[in-house]
């Protein structure tokens, strides 16, 4: 039996021409491991289902009974209340000492792109994460008013983390890093521009570089998503262009003097 016939048959056989639960997965472009048809046990991927639906005038989209808001709609409504958080794994150790992995826990405000260091540890347990989040959300802290915390499905987050955040916790879908895209992009920038260039000998050494890069990101580095200006207070000048360096020239930024 031809694959196109099986998919279309399942769609057109639905009551009143509507998609069933099985069909909704395909109409929305979700991955389907195996086609639910005894006579055609073939693996099916998103692109195949999308191509078949388009060829038979059933394009995937909202017309196929999508319910609720999309992720883009959610973000546009709540960006000022959202913070994404994630870990960066960096090895530390040298000179005959055992090399261990340090985990840098950071958070980023979605509306301003401002980054906060939440902690660094070599033992990122659920209890440690919960304590870091508890400190970050205490009254008076910069992230205390954030209503939505985006975390991935990392095993480091457990019942203690869930208890601290409660309804503020927003877990990303499986294999959906775009749901925490700002955090993932910052992690890449921090590694490529700074952390990958240094061999760290201690946790204090790593902390010094991470804090310096966060200051660079928040106060000096321009961001295209917010008008190609730095996150922090910034004033356009018209004087001579000068170069500011930090971390022995590893990080550079340019500005006009008054």
Per DSSP, the three-state class of 256 is strand
**Is the pLDDT reported for residue 236 higher than 90?**
no
**CA gap 199, 195 in Å, rounded:** 8
pLDDT band at residue 223 using 50, 70 and 90 as cut-offs:
confident
Confidence of residue 6 (pLDDT cuts 50, 70, 90): low
| Position 230 confidence tier, pLDDT thresholds 50, 70, 90 | confident
pTM of the complete model beyond 0.75? no
- Measured from the Cβ of residue 88, the count of other Cβ atoms closer than 10 Å reads 19
Percent of the chain beyond pLDDT 70? Answer: 78
C-alpha separations of 104 from 14, 78, 85, 177 in Å:
51, 26, 10, 18
Rounded Cα distance, 216 and 213, in Å: 5
* Token pair recorded at residue 77: 């409504």
Is residue 8 scored above 60 in pLDDT? no
pLDDT at 237 over 70: yes
SS3 label, residue 137: coil
The residue whose two tokens read 């099916």 is 44
* Tokens describing residue 46: 């998103």
d(CA 254, CA 191): 21
Q: Residue 51: beta bridge partners?
A: none
Distance separating alpha carbons of residues 81 and 88, to the nearest angstrom: 23
Are 179 and 150 in contact by the 8 Å Cβ rule? The answer is: yes
String of b and e for 221-231 (b: at least 16 CB within 10 Å)?
A: beeeeeeeebb
Averaged pLDDT, 100-104: 96
Q: For 205, which DSSP code?
A: H
The pLDDT, as a whole number, for residue 177 is 83
* Kind of pairing between the strands at 241-246 and 100-109: unpaired
pLDDT at 107: 97
Higher pLDDT, 189 or 3: 189
- CATH 3.30.420.10 domain extents, the chain: 73-231
Q: How confident is the model at residue 142 (pLDDT cuts 50, 70, 90)?
A: very high
- Cβ partners under 8 Å of residue 95, min gap 6: 201
Higher pLDDT, 127 or 16: 127
To which CATH superfamily is domain 73-231 assigned? Ribonuclease H-like superfamily/Ribonuclease H (3.30.420.10)
Determine the average pLDDT of the residues in 125-132: 97
- How does strand 169-171 pair with strand 148-151? parallel
């Amino acid at each position: 039996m031809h694959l196109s016939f099986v998919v279309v048959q399942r769609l057109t056989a639905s009551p009143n021409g509507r998609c069933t639960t099985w069909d909704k997965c395909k109409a929305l472009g979700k991955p389907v491991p195996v086609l639910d048809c005894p006579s055609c046990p073939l693996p099916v991927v998103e692109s195949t289902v999308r191509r078949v639906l388009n060829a038979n005038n059933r394009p995937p989209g909202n017309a196929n009974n999508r319910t609720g808001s999309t992720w883009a709609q959610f973000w546009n409504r709540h960006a000022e209340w959202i913070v994404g958080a994630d870990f960066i794994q960096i090895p530390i150790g040298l000179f005959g000492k055992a090399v261990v992995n340090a985990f840098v826990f950071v958070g980023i405000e979605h509306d301003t792109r401002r980054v906060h260091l939440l902690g660094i540890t070599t033992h990122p347990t659920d209890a440690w994460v919960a304590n870091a989040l508890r400190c970050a959300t205490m009254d008076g802290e910069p992230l205390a008013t954030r209503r939505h915390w985006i975390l991935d499905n990392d095993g480091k987050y457990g019942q203690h983390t869930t208890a601290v955040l409660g309804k503020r916790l927003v877990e990303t879908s499986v294999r959906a890093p775009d749901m925490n895209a700002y955090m993932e992009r910052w992690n890449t920038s921090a590694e490529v521009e700074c952390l990958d260039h240094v061999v760290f000998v201690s946790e204090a050494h790593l902390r010094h570089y991470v804090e310096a890069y966060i200051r660079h990101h928040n106060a000096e580095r321009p961001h295209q998503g917010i008008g190609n200006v730095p996150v922090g207070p910034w004033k356009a000048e018209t004087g001579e262009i000068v170069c500011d360096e930090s971390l022995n020239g590893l990080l550079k930024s340019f500005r006009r003097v008054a």
